């Protein structure tokens, strides 16, 4: 079984990727947060994909576009950095994205999707993988969408079995993933599952239902528990070891953010995004989360976090 870290805008940049690689090295592949392919890569994106900042990490750049030539041009920009494959984001549910028919917005227009993929796979001389949802307002078009995907040499198809309007709520539509398992030719396209893998129970439920699945992408579950993949692989660690790894993981991210951002408030804000998921691992988690949300200075933040780890 291979495990991938899902791209999460604002969360899975190289600072976090390196922290996982150094302290919870169970992730087989990482994806960048989406890169707007219509624009030239700016300094921030170049820094994020720089191989120097991703040493030892298998990283796939993710493009946000529904224009084949934009994806091709982004690939040209990435080649000097040593990247070949591109992942195309057809799953982002953000309103600002879907209003431009990008991300999961294009799923409401299957003919447009078909034309985009036809041109892309005709022109691309490099592997192109796709991350998708199963529809926009509902999954009535999923049969049509999966027929379209099955036509093309998609190197890897990651399916998050929710529709755009679900965002990250409601239960994943496992019947839709079952259809993908049935229709996608494994000799041509590798199928990857994404969505709500948060513990061994959810993992076992998935693999019991789909014993042939060999790739799983996890996002929020890994921020709620950075040791999740170790648990899924049956790798045990006692509480003292888990505490030490978590603390080192946290401290590396904080140090990285403080070096990247001009002010400590920006770094604290980014750390709060992580704690929004991770606080559940700690004693009196809701009380801890309220304290972290309220803190404004680095000294206050460090004091709260120190006490949290001491009580872990």
Residue 162 marked in a binding site: no
Find out whether 145 and 180 touch, Cβ atoms under 8 Å.
no
Q: Which of 103, 102, 38 is nearest to 73 (CA)?
A: 38
Provide the phi-psi class of 216: left if phi over 0, else alpha when psi is between -120 and 50, else beta: beta
Q: Which value, to the nearest 10 degrees, does the dihedral of the CA atoms of residues 121, 123, 129, 130 take?
A: -70
- Is 220 labelled as part of a ligand binding site? yes
At residue 207, φ and ψ (nearest 5 deg) are -70, -25
Active site residue 192: no
Cα–Cα dist 108/137, whole Å: 8
What is the distance between the alpha carbons of residues 7 and 242, in angstroms, rounded to a whole number?
Answer: 24
Active-site residue, selected from the candidate residues 92, 192, 209, 295: 92
**Main-chain phi, psi angles of 29, to 5 degrees:** -155, 145
**Contact present, 267 and 261 (Cβ < 8 Å):** yes
Q: Annotated binding residue at 62? A: yes
DSSP assignment string, 102-145: -GGGGGG-HHHHHHHHHHHHHH--S-EEEEE-S-SSSSTTHHHH
Token readout for 104 is 């999961």
21 annotated as belonging to a binding site for a ligand: no
131 is in an annotated binding site: yes
Which residue from 32, 26, 39 is spatially nearest to 67, judged by alpha carbons?
39
Please enumerate, by residue number, every residue annotated as part of a binding site for FMN.
62, 131, 160, 219-220
Please enumerate, by residue number, every residue annotated as part of a binding site.
62, 131, 160, 219-220
Catalytic residue set: 92
């Amino acid at each position: 079984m291979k495990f991938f870290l899902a791209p999460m805008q604002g969360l899975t940049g190289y600072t976090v990727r390196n922290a996982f690689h150094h302290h919870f090295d169970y992730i087989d592949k990482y994806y960048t947060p989406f890169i707007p392919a219509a624009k030239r890569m700016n300094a921030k994106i170049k820094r994020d994909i720089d191989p120097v900042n991703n040493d030892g990490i298998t990283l796939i750049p993710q493009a946000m576009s529904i224009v084949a030539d934009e994806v091709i041009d982004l690939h040209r920009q990435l080649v000097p950095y040593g990247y070949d494959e591109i992942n195309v984001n057809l799953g982002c549910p953000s309103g600002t994205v879907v209003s431009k028919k990008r991300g999961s917005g294009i799923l409401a227009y299957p003919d447009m999707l078909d034309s985009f993929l036809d041109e892309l796979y005709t022109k691309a001389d490099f592997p192109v993988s796709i991350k998708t949802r199963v529809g926009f307002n509902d999954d009535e078009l999923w049969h049509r969408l999966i027929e379209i995907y099955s036509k093309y040499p998609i190197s890897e198809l990651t399916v998050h079995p929710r529709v755009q309007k679900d965002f990250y709520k409601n239960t994943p539509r496992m019947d839709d993933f079952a259809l993908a398992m049935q229709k996608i030719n494994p000799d041509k396209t590798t199928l990857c599952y994404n969505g709500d893998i948060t513990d061994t129970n959810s993992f076992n439920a998935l693999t019991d239902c789909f014993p042939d699945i060999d790739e799983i992408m996890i996002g929020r579950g890994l921020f709620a528990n950075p040791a999740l993949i170790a648990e899924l692989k049956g790798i045990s660690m006692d509480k003292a070891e888990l505490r030490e790894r978590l603390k080192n993981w946290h401290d590396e991210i904080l140090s990285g953010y403080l070096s990247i951002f001009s002010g400590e408030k920006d770094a604290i804000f980014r750390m709060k995004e992580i704690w929004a998921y991770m606080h559940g691992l700690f004693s009196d988690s809701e009380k801890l989360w309220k304290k972290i949300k309220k803190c404004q200075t680095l000294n206050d933040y460090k004091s709260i976090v120190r006490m949290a780890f001491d009580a872990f």
